[in-house]
Amino acid sequence: IVVWVGFFILLPWGNQFPKIQWEDLHNNSIPNTTFGEIIITLWKSPREDHNEGPTGCPIEQAWCFYTPMIHLAQFLTSAVLIGIGYPSCNVMSYTLYSKILGPKPQGVYMGWLTASGSAARILGPVFISQLYTSWGPRWAFSLVCGIVVLTILLLVAVYKR
């Protein structure tokens, strides 16, 4: 439930939209100036860090125009909740799985559980990042909330066992 609350908080709320990365027009022509004028212009121009990348939502992502931005407080709160909830769930799932397997040798079965968890940690971010890029944070985080609710419901269904 703590993990679900963390992802629920990550859903975009409010009416403040993100900045959009509009493409700037650049003049690629070379002006007719003397060498002295170029040196003076370079000497007087303020030092700028040109290593900064563009900020804001890319123009190619249409969802940026109608999806509110996620605020820093939302992100930090959800990061703390997910950071607390995920390790607890992971430890409890391994413990429950070992109790379900019983006293027989568990090495192969625990290996399959670990392998499936590793595959999910590899493929999950790839899938969610594609979904996020195409459809935005509402769809991505709603899908994760749905998966967590489904997991909670399955745990409630098999609780007596």
pLDDT tens for each residue of 64-109: 888 898 889 999 999 999 999 999 988 988 888 888 888 888 888 8
Of the candidates 72, 66, 74, the residue with the CA atom closest to the CA atom of residue 141? 74
In tens, the pLDDT along 17-53 reads 888 877 654 556 666 666 666 666 666 656 655 556 6
Q: The whole model's pTM is what?
A: 0.71
Of the candidates 39, 129, 121, 53, the residue with the CA atom closest to the CA atom of residue 86? 121
Cα-based angle 95, 117, 129 (whole degrees, multiple of 5)? 140
Q: What is the pLDDT of residue 102?
A: 86
Please report which confidence band the pLDDT of residue 149 belongs to, taking 50, 70 and 90 as the band edges.
Answer: very high
